Each structure stands twice: as structure tokens, then as C-alpha cells.
Amino acid sequence: MEEFLRILTQSAGEILAPTTAAYAMAAIGLNLHFGYTGLLNMGQAGFMLLGAYGFGITLTTGGSFWLALLVAIAAGVLFAIILGMPTLQLRGDYLAIVTISAAEIVRWFGRSTLWQQWTGGASGLQGRFYKEPFQELSFLPDGRFALGPFEYINTGSDSWWTRIVAWGLVALVVLFVWLITRSPWGRVLKGIREDEDAVRALGKNVYAYKLQALVLGGAIGALGGVIFALPAAIVPDSMGRTMTFFVWTILLLGGAATVFGPVLGSMIFFAAYMFMRTGMRALAENTGVGDFITTTNVEQIGGMLVGVTLMLLVIFRPQGIFGNKKELAFNVR
Amino acid sequence: MTADRPTITSRWSRLLAALALVLLPAIFVAPPATASIDETPCEPDKETACIAVLVLNADNDRISDVVVTVAGGDFSAELTTPADGPATVAAPTVGRYTVTIDPATLPADQLLPQGAETELTVTAQSGGTARAAFRVGPGVEAPSTPTAGSGTTGDTPADGTTVEDGEGVGAAPEGDASKRALTFAQVWQQMGSGLRFGLLLALASIGLNLVFGTTGLSNFAHGEQFALGAAVGFITINQMGMSIWVGGLLTLAICAFTGLAQDSAIWRPLRKRNVPVMQLMIVSIGLSITLQYVIQLMIGGGSERILSRNPQPLKLAGITLSTASWLSMVVALVCVLGIAWFLTRTRIGRATRAVSDNPALASATGIDPDKIIRIVWVMATGFAALAGLMWGVSFGSFNWQLGVQLLLLMFAAVTLGGLGTALGAFVGSLLIGQVVELSNLFIPSDLRYASALVILILVLLFRPQGILGRRERIG
């Protein structure tokens, strides 16, 4: 029982973890792409990695925190423009193939020895090189603070300060997305998702709107990368395809084309993912299940279940938990 | 298909010849290749696996005249560490070796710390040096953690040579060619490797293209079908000890069955429900994640080899590749020609092309699209598995990431050649093979796959329908 409580607490702790906020942010960006505009971006991790690099490298070379944030967003914007220009006039799956390839190119360049002095190569940028300016901004007193069973230090890597900033940014972006998707601009995006030709017939420049959506979602994705880097290090191999696919699972779990879907999806996903893994590990260690599932297999079985969840979601409930089936982008091209 | 191949190859060779001229002076200053005799330190090349043993004290100084034993299988060698470098030995076969230190031969002031291991296990792989380092003497942490490095660059002690990293597809047995001077022989050799790469890629990507042509699905799980071939082959041939032919055929049968099962369990019901193609694509991504972790469960997280013996080199037309590679290339070429014959000359093949052109019209003429698509799935998964198996055999080691990395190259190949056309997949794959292997000469080898993806993006920019594709397909 005590063990079960520990697992529950650990899973609940994931709900407010900075990583959950980072994925929520990336999923909000992807929601602008896929949920509202119908663009199949399969390279959200590339945007995140570029954002993280922009942030980390600016700070390690002596830039200020705010400059670093701007550089991160600029990196996402630039990447979106480069990717969007050639592909947005083609059919949807071309964008998917190009974005997944481009994200891989970014990762390969990041882990290559070519720019090792900037990116740190395959072992990445250690957090201690760039975290200080961020933690200096903290107005929290020194020490620790406990809220129920959740106790973290006030300022540090896995701290209340990181959580406050991460979720504060997520709240701001949620508000922003809520406002713009209710605006005339957002209605054009939804129009493109439903029927591109009809929108074109109304005299709108569909290509420009798609590019704007890609840029905006990409910049939000880059911010997600910054949040991801805040409590950890910037390691290219941990920000690859798996990350993109997790972001997709989160978006489809919460519900595409909803304002809170990505955020709630991320919370549910990570709580369930942690519950499943710690639960399996506890079972493997303490019961006869260990004969079939060793603790090293837990990660792999967890990953398999994510894949199966994604398949089942798309087949049986493509609108996710909170979504509306009418607002779904799958039917276009 | 042969029409534009030679022109492009000759354009490449012209470019390379020009570069070779530019780099000519570098050839003269390049040091002569060292001959590998038993007395000289073992030099890893693509056919040789080396094991190096170091004995270091707390200050990273080498300690000489220590006796170590390297043993594995029925091989055993006793080495004495020289003063100027590690004690090396060429491993007769690739695989795991145990390195044992004789504590009695250590100098009196440099003894093994309490509780430290006297044995280390290393994995020898051709094209690399597996290192075992013992730390001795005062100042070393009490239960010292002796490092056994194999394929990892992280724990290599301060020494000039680094170990070829096991990361990435096939772990580039040729090593980082960009560091060497450029000669025509190297370019020719790389082109040979490129042909091997291209033929295997072609065999795998034709299936991807056939599935796309008949169902409109960009199957993201196709890379995993490729890796599954290598993984099942590893289990049947290496772990269960079957002969390569029996194990290979069994692998093919199992993987082709996964295609059949997939079609009847997932894709056919979804087609019946008229699920949009984009939704199917995300289902295939889910399937790809699932299979990726299934493969990890099957073979673990490390690099594995299908054949455990050292490959036999064979030089044909100035290109040295392993005999297994040459055989794989012949098999791949025969299969590709067979598929071409099947598509153009047989009833079912023609029906396949009809379905891929216009499913409604095809079914109106009495063709059963479901039957054709089932055959296409079995072919696609079967040939992908064959390509994966032969990849694993001819490139040495592979890991569970093989699938997705190859998937992107396959997408590059089919986009370059033309999505939905079988011939386009073949032409595109051969070109991508050349690009990947030749770019190895100019850019760091850890970026060679990036070059192919850059080409993919350029193609979409300037000729989105690919070399052989038709304009209307890109929508």
C-alpha cells in the first residue's frame, strides 16, 4: 500500500513537472499546425532542439537571458520559413517527410563533431553552462518548499522557480492561441483546414496563411525546447523522432483543435506514462511478474504501449478526449 | 532507367576528378600506409578487429611489462604491455573477449587496488579497436571501476586513435574517409560502396513505393520492417545458430507474414471504413514506434552482428568489399530485376500497376484491389526484410535504430526518383547510395546521411515530382 502511494505521488508529480510543460508547449505549437491549419508537421522536435540550442548557445557565449529567449524564437521562425517555403504548396505528406528529415538533419548536425565547440557534440550542452542567468532572475527566497507530498527546492534545476516560469509561459501562450484562433485570422486557418480551395476562391492567400501558421507554431515549439532545456541539459539524441511522436500522441490524446487539449493531454500522458513505468518496475521487483518483465524491459514495454496508444487513438477516437470530431483535419488531402 | 544513370555518374566522376586534381599535392605528403605485420601494433581496418589493452596508473601514465591474457572462444593470447602504447592483438573473430591481467607482473609500487576486477570483457568489431583499460596503483579509487571500452569514444584514455563509434547505421566500416587524402582509387571504392548501399536501399524502397502507389499511404513503419529483417535474422542465424540460408528463408517467411497479418488486421479494415490517408499515416507512425520497441526487446539496445566470423574480403574491379556484400548486391539486383519483370510481364503485376494508376477503373475491369494490395503488402515487407537482412550481413553491425534512419533515406530515394513509381524508387536509391558514400569523402562521416536528406529537400524545391514522377501526383 505504501508502495502504491509512492507510485501515485510520483505520477501525480509529473503533472506539474517542467518537462510536462515543455511537451505541452510543443503540442500547442503543433496544434496550430495540425489542429487549426491541417499541416502535418512531423519535425516538432527539430523546432524544439533548435530553440534549445539557440537559448543555450546564446547564454554560454555570454548573452543575456532575454536575448537568448529571442534567439530561440528566431531560430524556430527561421526553421519554419526554410521548411515551409518549398513544401507548403505541395501535398500534405511531403511536408511530413520534409519536416521529419529536417529535424533529423538538425539532430545530426548537433551531435556531429563539426560544431562541437558550440553544440557540445553528441554529449550535448551541460545545464551548468547556461542555467545561471535564468536562476538569477528568481525572486523566490532560498530553501525548499513543500506543497503536500511535493517538495522541491525553490531555485535550481528541478525547482519551483522552473515550474512557475514554465507553466507561466504555457498559460501565456494558451491565452495567446485562444485569442488568435477566435480572430478573423484564426477563422481563415480553420477555413484552410476544411476546404483550401474555398478559401482561395474568397481571395485569401492560402500559402501565406499556412506559412504564418507554420512560423507561429514553430516559434512556440522552440519555446517548448527552451522549457525542456531549463531543468536538464541539451542533448541532441534525447530530442529526436521519439520526442516528435510523443508530442503527436499528446496532441491527439488531449484533442486537436481545442485550446486546452494539448495542456491536459500532456498532463494525462506523463502521469499515465510514469504510473505505468513505476508500476511495472515495482511489480517486476516485488512480485512474480519479474520473471517475464525485467526492470530493463520496462522502458521498452512503455514505449511499445505509447505506440499502440497512438494507433488506437487515431483509429477509434481521433478527436481525443476533449476534441470535437467535426473539427478534425484528417479529411483534407 | 539506364538512360540517366551514366550521365549522372559521369558528372559525379568529373566533379571528383576535378577535386582530386585540387587535392593532388596532399597525396604526396600523405604518410605511406603502414603494413600490418604481427610485431607491429594491430591496425584496425574494415576486415580486422583489434583488441588493445592498457594498464594505467592514477596519472594516466602507461605501465609497461605487465602480462595480460586475451581469450575468447578457443583463442588465447598472452601479451606484454610495451612502454610506448597499448598491447594490441588482432582478434581472429569478432565477438566478446575476456581480458585478464596478471597482478603478479605489476610493479611493486603500482598494485591493483583492493576489490578491483582482474577481468574485463570487451567486444571486438571489425574496423575498430576494442579497448580494455586497467587502472592500478595508489590514488586510484578503492573499488576501482576499470573501464572496458568497445565502440565508445567516451572512455578512451588519452591516446591518438579513437574508436569508431557504434552509433548510426552500419557503423561505417570504412571509417571517416574525409580525414584522408583523396585518390581515384578511394573515389572508386566509395562508388562501389555506394552501389552496394544503393542496391540494398532500392530493394527496400521499392516496397515502400508500391504500397504508396496502390494505397496512397506513406508508410512510416516501412523502416521498421527493414530493421525487423535484420533483427529476426540476428536471432535465427546468430543466436539460434541456423545456417544463413535456412535462417534467411525463415526470416523472410516471418517478415512476409507480418505484412499479410498487418494488411488483414489493420489496413484492410481501415480501408473498408474509408479512413482518410493522413489518418492511416499516423497509424503507421504508431505502428513504427511499437515495432521499434519490439525490435529493442528482441535484440536489446546495443549493436549486434548477424554473422559472427570476420568477413572475407573480395576485390572485384578494384573495389574491395566483403564476399557477403558482393553476394548481397547480386541477390538485390536479381530481386529488383525480378520485380521489374513481375510488374511488366505477369498478369498480377499488370493488375498491380492498374490499381496503382486508378483503383476504381481497375476494379471495374474485374481486378480485385484488395487481393492486389495484399500481395503488395507481402512483397513490400518481404523484400524490406530481405534488404535488412542483407544489410546486416554486409555492413557488419546494426542496432535497433536502423529502421528509422533508413526510412528517411528511403523517402529521399523515392521522392528523388518519383513517388509511386517502382522504377523511380530504383533510380533514386542508386543515386542516394552514391551521394551517401561519396559525401563520406568530403564531410565528416557522422553527417553522411544528412547529405541525402539535404538532397531530398532540394528535390522538393526544384522538381517535386522527382526524376521519373508525374506532375499530377504531387497535388
C-alpha cell at B77: 593470447
C-alpha cell at B431: 543515386
Question: Are the beta carbons of A101 and B453 closer than 8 angstroms?
Answer: yes
Question: Are the beta carbons of B285 and B220 closer than 8 angstroms?
Answer: yes
More confident residue, B321 or A10: A10
pLDDT for the residue numbered B185:
75
pLDDT for the residue numbered B47:
59
Q: Taking the alpha carbons of B171, B176, B178, B181 in that order, is the dihedral positive or negative? A: negative
Assess whether pLDDT exceeds 80 at residue A66.
Answer: yes
More confident residue, A322 or A328: A322
More confident residue, B306 or A9: A9
Stated as kind and residue range, the H or E segment containing A70 is helix A65-87
pLDDT for the residue numbered B140:
56
Q: Which DSSP string corresponds to B284-315?
A: HHHHHHHHHHHHHHHH-SS-EES--SPPPEEE
pLDDT for the residue numbered B377:
92
Q: Which of A65-69, B62-66, B70-74 has the lowest mean pLDDT?
A: B70-74
Q: Which of A249-263, B186-200, B303-317 has the lowest mean pLDDT?
A: B303-317
pLDDT for the residue numbered B237:
84
Provide the β-strand partners of residue B49: B91
Q: What is the mean pLDDT of residues A141-159?
A: 77
Instruction: Using an 8 Å CB-CB cutoff, list chain B residues near A94.
Output: 415, 460, 464, 474
Instruction: Using an 8 Å CB-CB cutoff, list chain B residues near A104.
Output: 405, 408, 449-450, 453
**Residue A26: which of A176, A313, A218, A269 has the closest Cα?**
A218
Instruction: Using an 8 Å CB-CB cutoff, list chain A residues near B293.
Output: 300-301, 303-304, 307
CATH 1.10.3470 correct for A2-331: yes
Nearest CA distance, A241 vs chain B (angstrom): 9
Assess whether pLDDT exceeds 70 at residue A156.
Answer: yes
> Cβ–Cβ of B281/A96 closer than 8 Å?
yes
Q: What is the mean pLDDT of residues A192-197?
A: 86
Q: Which of A66-75, A157-166, B63-72, B343-352 has the lowest mean pLDDT?
A: B63-72
Nearest CA distance, A328 vs chain B (angstrom): 10
* Number of other residues whose CB lies within 10 A of the CB of residue A95: 25
Nearest CA distance, B100 vs chain A (angstrom): 28
Query: What average pLDDT does the structure give for chain B?
Result: 73
Q: What is the mean pLDDT of residues A222-226?
A: 93
Distance CA(A236)–CA(B309), nearest Å, equals: 34
Among A283-287, B374-378, B463-467, the range with the most confident prediction by mean pLDDT is B374-378
pLDDT for the residue numbered A188:
92
Q: What is the mean pLDDT of residues A115-134?
A: 78
Q: Which of A240-244, A275-279, B364-368 has the lowest mean pLDDT?
A: B364-368
Instruction: Using an 8 Å CB-CB cutoff, list chain B residues near A306.
Output: 289
How do beta strands B67-72 and B95-101 pair? Answer: antiparallel
pLDDT for the residue numbered A172:
94
Under the banding of pLDDT at 50, 70 and 90, the label for residue A180 is very high
Torsion of CA A243, A249, A252, A254, to 10 degrees: -90
Q: Which DSSP string corresponds to A206-266?
A: HHHHHHHHHHHHHHHHHHHHHHHHSSS-B-GGGSSHHHHHHHHHHHHHH-TT-SSHHHHHH
Give the residue on B whose Cα is nearest the Cα of A301.
B293
> Cβ–Cβ of B446/A105 closer than 8 Å?
no
**Residue B326: which of B175, B193, B177, B234 has the closest Cα?**
B193
Q: What is the mean pLDDT of residues A138-154?
A: 77
> Cβ–Cβ of B475/A90 closer than 8 Å?
yes
> Cβ–Cβ of B404/A241 closer than 8 Å?
yes
Q: B9, exposed or middle or buried, with CB in 10 Å at 0-12, 13-18, 19+?
A: middle
pLDDT for the residue numbered A250:
92
pLDDT for the residue numbered B170:
36
Under the banding of pLDDT at 50, 70 and 90, the label for residue A176 is very high
C-alpha cell at B188: 572508386
Under the banding of pLDDT at 50, 70 and 90, the label for residue A264 is very high
Q: What is the mean pLDDT of residues B225-242?
A: 86
Assess whether pLDDT exceeds 50 at residue A76.
Answer: yes
Assess whether pLDDT exceeds 50 at residue B173.
Answer: no
- Mutation to test the B interface, candidates A119, A311, A325, most B Cβ within 10 Å: A311
Nearest CA distance, B347 vs chain A (angstrom): 31
Question: Are the beta carbons of A206 and A77 closer than 8 angstroms?
Answer: no
Question: Are the beta carbons of B403 and B292 closer than 8 angstroms?
Answer: yes
Chain A residues 240-269 with a CB less than 8 Å from chain B: 241-242, 245, 248, 252
For the whole model, what pTM was predicted?
0.76
Q: How many helices (H) and strands (E) does chain B have?
A: 14, 12
**Residue A112: which of B238, B439, B303 has the closest Cα?**
B439
Among B282, B405, B443, select the one facing A248 at the smallest CB separation: B282
Q: Which of A90-104, A147-161, B279-293, B461-475 has the lowest mean pLDDT?
A: B461-475
Among A112, A307, A332, select the one facing B444 at the smallest CB separation: A112
pLDDT for the residue numbered A222:
94
> Cβ–Cβ of A315/B415 closer than 8 Å?
no
pLDDT for the residue numbered A13:
85
Among A90, A101, A252, select the one facing B453 at the smallest CB separation: A101
Instruction: Using an 8 Å CB-CB cutoff, list chain A residues near B279.
Output: 314-315, 318, 330
Distance CA(B258)–CA(A192), nearest Å, equals: 38
ipTM: 0.87
HSE, CB side, 13 Å, CA atoms: give it for residue A200.
9
Assess whether pLDDT exceeds 60 at residue A197.
Answer: yes
What are the structural domains of chain B?
A: 49-165 (2.60.40.10), 177-474 (1.10.3470)
Q: What is the mean pLDDT of residues A50-57?
A: 91
pLDDT for the residue numbered B114:
58
- Mutation to test the A interface, candidates B179, B460, B472, most A Cβ within 10 Å: B460
Q: Which of A218-222, A231-235, B194-198, B430-434 has the lowest mean pLDDT?
A: A231-235
Q: Which DSSP string corresponds to B26-81?
A: HHHHSPPPPP--SSSPP---TT-EEEEEEEE-TTS-B--S-EEEEEETTEEEEEE-
Residue with cell 592500478: B136
Cα angle value A275/B279/B415 (rounded, 5°): 115
Among A93, A97, A300, select the one facing B293 at the smallest CB separation: A300
> Cβ–Cβ of A40/B457 closer than 8 Å?
no
Nearest CA distance, A91 vs chain B (angstrom): 5
Instruction: Using an 8 Å CB-CB cutoff, list chain B residues near A112.
Output: 444, 446-447
pLDDT for the residue numbered A290:
64
pLDDT for the residue numbered B164:
33
* Length of chain A (residues): 333
Contacts of A168 (CB under 8 A, 6+ apart): none
Distance CA(B146)–CA(B157), nearest Å, equals: 12
pLDDT for the residue numbered B60:
66
Provide the β-strand partners of residue A41: none
Question: Are the beta carbons of B272 and B369 closer than 8 angstroms?
Answer: no
pLDDT for the residue numbered A140:
76
**Residue B79: which of B105, B107, B117 has the closest Cα?**
B105
More confident residue, B386 or B151: B386
Under the banding of pLDDT at 50, 70 and 90, the label for residue B1 is very low
Among A86, A93, A113, select the one facing B281 at the smallest CB separation: A93
Instruction: Using an 8 Å CB-CB cutoff, list chain A residues near B446.
Output: 108, 111-113
C-alpha cell at A123: 554529449
Assess whether pLDDT exceeds 80 at residue A93.
Answer: no
Provide the β-strand partners of residue A126: none
Nearest CA distance, A214 vs chain B (angstrom): 17
Chain A residues 188-247 with a CB less than 8 Å from chain B: 241-242, 245
A301 touches chain B (CB under 8 A): yes
pLDDT single digits (tens) B358-401: 778 888 888 888 888 888 899 999 999 999 988 888 887 788 88
Distance CA(B76)–CA(B98), nearest Å, equals: 9
Instruction: Using an 8 Å CB-CB cutoff, list chain A residues near B475.
Output: 90-91, 333
> Cβ–Cβ of A111/B446 closer than 8 Å?
yes
pLDDT for the residue numbered B144:
34
Distance CA(B73)–CA(B58), nearest Å, equals: 32
* Number of other residues whose CB lies within 10 A of the CB of residue B314: 14
Give the residue on A whose Cα is nearest the Cα of B462.
A86
User: Angle at which helices B448-462 and B402-417 pack, to 10 degrees?
Assistant: 30
A123 touches chain B (CB under 8 A): yes
Query: What average pLDDT does the structure give for chain A?
Result: 86
How do beta strands B313-316 and B87-91 pair? Answer: unpaired
Q: Taking the alpha carbons of A248, A71, A53, A126 in that order, is the dihedral positive or negative? A: negative
